[in-house]
A and B are shown apart, each in its own frame.
Chain A
Amino acid sequence: MNAKERMNQLLLKSLDLPLSAEEQTALDQALEASAALREDQAKLLAMRQLLAKAQLEASPSFADRVMDTIKLRQRPTFTASIIRLYPKVAAACILLLLAGMLGIYLSEGNLSVDALVGVQELSIDEAYTLVDY
């Protein structure tokens, strides 16, 4: 690394980190001796000012938008409601099914497939009549 590069690095370092006494003296001397280095320093400082101006300002309405979104996301959705209701709906269906089977058992005396389907007392002629109809 030549002296010019070293001074450029020291210049950049001086903008963000503290220099040792030795480094500071070397940089001060180089700045005094070199107009180009002074120009670089001025440009870097101008650039940093430019960058600092690029910050966004506060927006009070932003907090309201965040709070609205939080409230919206906390509201239960249709799917969530269905999932929450599901155990009750499933239990009611099972009860209905059992009640139906009990009814069939009490009226037919058994739970055969014919009894469940309701064709136990259907004669073959009646079945043909139904097909023709």
Chain B
Amino acid sequence: MMATTIDQTGRGAVNITDADAEHVFQLDAVSFSYHGRHQALIDVDLTIARGEQLVILGANGSGKSTLLKMLDGLYRPASGTIRAFGQDITDVADDPVRARELHRRVGLVFQDADVQLFSPTVYDDVAFGPLQMGWDKERVTREVARALEQMNVTHLADRAPYELSGGEKKRVAIATVLSMEPDVILLDEPTASLDPRSSAVLVDVIAGLRHLGKTVVVTTHQLEIVPLIATRVVVFGDQERRPVASGGPTEILSDAELLIRTNLVHEHLHFHADANLLHSHLHGAEHHEG
């Protein structure tokens, strides 16, 4: 079955989720540009249902990271509207009080863990969010212990973030948002620059978030992790800067034409025996024999 392809000329009129599902986010014609010049997102229509494990696939520069920051209320769209939990949050970046409540319900794990882990110890970093929420000491202590345990990093609590490995940093970064008991967790390129083993551990962690009842949105361009963590996939075009397709992981990953067009795989000529053939390959994947 082919993935649902969204109208390329308009704002994407295709309904990409069940209209009756309870929506966590609804984006309507959202556009954003940096400094009014570089267009990062153009007329994005997107709906995310409660409890979904959504993977946003896209090549570098397709606007994935910008989208996550908008969902977390850090950026205000240049045009269009964003609704979260049924409420309009388009202007929430200008309202610190409303933004704080949104930040509690929506946790964002940044791509660079060094940016997220700014406190002297892992414990302080995990406690930072709950303390900013004004929770009492007992609740903070309880939530921090729970988050550390969920990410299996309790033994790192007294360590300084700079002492941790890349995989440990990522797990601690997730713990820093889990301690705030969010309904939604946004992960920006969580497996980027991790070795295969750390990457596999993190994939297990992300898949496990489903069992905690969280809505999870992950951006990536690493196709190999998609079937392991996604219940649905939305593909962003790097030229269009908006969703160009949506569907189940199997549908999307079997649509070679779509993946080539969105620069998620590349193709080139090379020899197989005595034939000069055109093949497509995953980013970074080795050529297969035969």
Partners in one complex: no
Binding site for A on B (CB under 8 A): none
Binding site for B on A (CB under 8 A): none
